Structure 1
Amino acid sequence: MIAFGPTDLAYAVVLGTAFGLGMCLLLSLAPRWGAPSLSRRIAPYIRDITDPRGMTPDLRGPGVDIGTWWRGVQVRVSAAIGGSTSVQRRLQQAGWVMDAATFRGRQLAWAVVGVAVGGLAIVVLVLLGRATTAAVVLPPICGVIAALLCGAHLTAAARARVARIEEELPTVLEFLALCLSAGEGILDSLRRVSGAATGELTGELRVVVLAVGTGSTLAESLAHAARSLEIPAVTRSIDQIVAAIDRGAPLAHVLHSQALDAREDAKRGLIERAGRKEIYMLIPLVFLILPLSVLFAVFPGIFILRLGIG
């Protein structure tokens, strides 16, 4: 009976992976398998004629739809992990066009890649002859780290976009107030600001203008934008604008006040960040500069005492 050692198994994994990648590359050059039929390709363009009520049966034919299967996996993973509300809020704040289930699927893909990287690291350690029993936990650890990095990437993107929107808010409000003072209406002012400026907040205003153009009321569109962003400063400003529209108050004065409040909030946030940075600056001072200063002051005396000089 032939016994296989860890090194032989590692070589088998490497050669098998290379063979599988080669076969996948060859198959990618072949004509596409499971291509949609002619009826499925032209059905979306003639459905209003052949079946205006959308009662056409499924024209995909036999076989497995990978997209539908993967979507089902995403939904099941999202339901198992939970926290969809928090994920959806961060996705909206980051401006990513996906839902919570899709993000959970991406997180799962990152975890699978992390597990694969951990397995590859074990193979490399075995080939180098440095593998230990503790290396078995490397793939799951890499998978968990990859999933956490995916969530951290979303959180960082959401925070960065929220910071940019908060920085743009005073300027956009002042621009709107200037347009209103010139005699334009609120919708025309929003359209002018969203078309003339570039940025994250003006992009949201373009969405509001588009929603109004497709039949929604201005108040509902602004409220939906506030709910999707969930930024306190933006929500407060939009609530004041909606209240002024409902009550017939002068919008220019309201926007000037909101711009002033936004600038005060930005100034207060800048002072708070400066205070935190001062604390962070103490870390290299306490742990690097101060120990080196003490070492330079004490070491010569200790050296002289050990030599017996003086």
Structure 2
Amino acid sequence: MSAGVLGILLGLMAGVGLILAVAYAPPFRSVRLVDRLAPYVHDTPPPSRLLGTATEPGLLTAARRVFGPVIGDGARLVDRMLGGRVAVRRRLDALAGASTVEDFRVEQVVWGGLGLLGAAIVATVGSVAAGGLNVLSAGLLCLAGLLGGVLGRDWWLTQQVQRREELLLAEFPVVAELLALAVTAGESPTAAIARVTRLSGGELARELGAALGRARSGVPLMDALQEVADRTSLDPLARFIDGLLVAIERGTPLAEVLRAQAADVREAGKRRLLEAGGRKEIAMMVPVVFLVLPVTVLFALFPGLISIVSLAR
């Protein structure tokens, strides 16, 4: 990279930094209506930070403290461009976390910034190796890194939800049979849920334990269990919660229903394993057909080809 190009890049970075510093300085930054009204509408003072627990990742917290206004504006821009707040809220609820849609948008902005930084580093290294800077290629690469980071966080959220649902399905038969055993022994559904959540671990047990905790804090147990069913997209778990609700409301027998549901989920798991095995079997044909078979044919035909070439000479 020549000295002129390097000077242009350094001057551009310094100019952008100066513009951002001046634009987001307190005297020039516009004050939102929410910030103006906040000191007058809060009835209670905020609690001490010493009494809370850190629930956000360190990177997200540091980015918010250093680049708070910029990240907030970026999060609102991403939310307007992508939309889909209802779908994002549904997936966040499926994770049973305390994150809001605004927190998720901030994470998307941070991921996009990291993707942009990585793409800029790659473009710089490529320019140094090539001895020149292609502005169009570098711009497209940076844009791809930015979009990849923003969309990659959304893809990762979907993967988190899928893994959690797989864990819920894997734990469901055991939890259902334990509940059936406790109910058969004479305990009420509420006591059976308390016993199972106390003796077992896992995502489903934590979900039921959280519902039971909300019920003990004043929320009706049926409403707390219905919240668990509303947060998930798994039909077996929804039927399981419906069976619990019916048993609690009407006093119907529950043990046989739970055992039948556990058996259905185990059969569905077996079918999924057979389907996955079939897909893996087809995938195993790819290296056989495209790697092993050509090499075998080459070894079989190479001696004859050499003989033909020698006779032709």
Normalised TM-score (structure 1): 0.76
CA distance in 1, matches of 2:222, 2:276: 34
Match of 2:165 among 162, 166, 169: 162
Q: Which residue of 2 aligns with 1:105?
A: 106
User: What's the CA shift for 1:73?
Assistant: 4.9
Q: Which residue of 2 aligns with 1:135?
A: 138
CA distance in 2, matches of 1:246, 1:254: 15
User: What's the CA shift for 1:72?
Assistant: 6.2
Gaps spanning 5+ residues in structure 2: where?
Answer: 19-41, 49-64
Q: Deviations over 1:16-36 (max 9, x none)?
A: 69x99xxxxxxxxxxxxxxxx
The one-letter code sitting in structure 1 at the alignment partner of 2:269 is A
Residue identity over aligned pairs, in percent, reads 31
Q: Which residue of 2 aligns with 1:57?
A: none
State the secondary structure of the residue aligned to 2:187. Answer: coil
User: What's the CA shift for 1:199?
Assistant: 0.5
State the secondary structure of the residue aligned to 1:299. Answer: helix
8 Å CA contact retained: 1:88, 1:100: yes
Match of 1:266 among 265, 269, 272: 269
- After TM superposition, list the pairs within 5 Å mapping 1:1-310 onto structure 2: 5-10=4-9, 43-44=45-46, 70-71=71-72, 73-128=74-129, 129-133=131-135, 134-308=137-311
User: What's the CA shift for 1:230?
Assistant: 1.9
User: What's the CA shift for 1:124?
Assistant: 2.7
Alpha-carbon RMSD: 3.2
Deviates more, 1:245-254 or 1:192-201: 245-254
CA distance in 1, matches of 2:237, 2:223: 15
Closer, same or farther: CA 149–208 of 1 in aligned 2, 3 Å: same
Normalised TM-score (structure 2): 0.75
CA distance in 1, matches of 2:70, 2:124: 31
State the secondary structure of the residue aligned to 2:252. Answer: coil
Q: Which residue of 2 aligns with 1:27?
A: none
User: What's the CA shift for 1:274?
Assistant: 1.6
CA distance in 2, matches of 1:45, 1:156: 35
8 Å CA contact retained: 1:241, 1:254: no
Closer, same or farther: CA 217–71 of 1 in aligned 2, 3 Å: farther
8 Å CA contact retained: 1:171, 1:259: yes
User: What's the CA shift for 1:268?
Assistant: 1.7
User: What's the CA shift for 1:66?
Assistant: 7.2
The one-letter code sitting in structure 1 at the alignment partner of 2:181 is L
8 Å CA contact retained: 1:173, 1:259: yes
8 Å CA contact retained: 1:89, 1:228: yes
Q: Deviations over 1:49-90 (max 9, x none)?
A: xxxxxxxxxxxxxxx997688556534532431112222222
Deviates more, 1:142-151 or 1:90-99: 90-99
8 Å CA contact retained: 2:180, 2:259: yes
Gaps spanning 5+ residues in structure 1: where?
Answer: 21-39, 47-63
Deviates more, 1:195-204 or 1:94-103: 94-103
Q: Which residue of 2 aligns with 1:53?
A: none
User: What's the CA shift for 1:221?
Assistant: 1.2
